Amino acid sequence: MYKIRDMYKEKKELALLELAYLSIAAISFVAAAVTALFNQSLGIAILIVPLAALIVAVANIVVWSLVKSIVEAKDDKKVARK
């Protein structure tokens, strides 16, 4: 797997963003699980954070792929016209 610095140098912003979202989701899920051992209602309340992070990550992937496919389709049309 890439190192974070290598990903940044190679301009893989989307991968870095997704890595950040998934890291936040994983860390907050573990924090919620540990908290739930001591206080169940607080642990369940903390589960909102990883849920939100996962929803944002999936939405980001979908939007990015739509934008990428639209841009590539326009580029293909320009190439076909020439």
Digit-coded pLDDT (tens) for 31-74: 999 999 999 999 999 999 999 989 998 998 898 889 888 888 87
Are 3 and 42 contacting, i.e. CB atoms less than 8 angstroms apart? Answer: no
Residue 1 has pLDDT above 60, yes or no: no
Structural domain range at position 74: 4-81
**Which residues neighbour 8 within 8 Å (Cβ) at sequence distance 6 or greater?**
16
Among 2-11, 18-27, 44-53, 63-72, name the one with the lowest average pLDDT.
2-11
Residue 4 has pLDDT above 80, yes or no: no
pLDDT at 74: 78
Compute how many other C-beta atoms are within 10 angstroms of the C-beta atom of residue 75.
10
Q: pTM to 2 decimals?
A: 0.70
Q: How many domains does the chain have?
A: 1
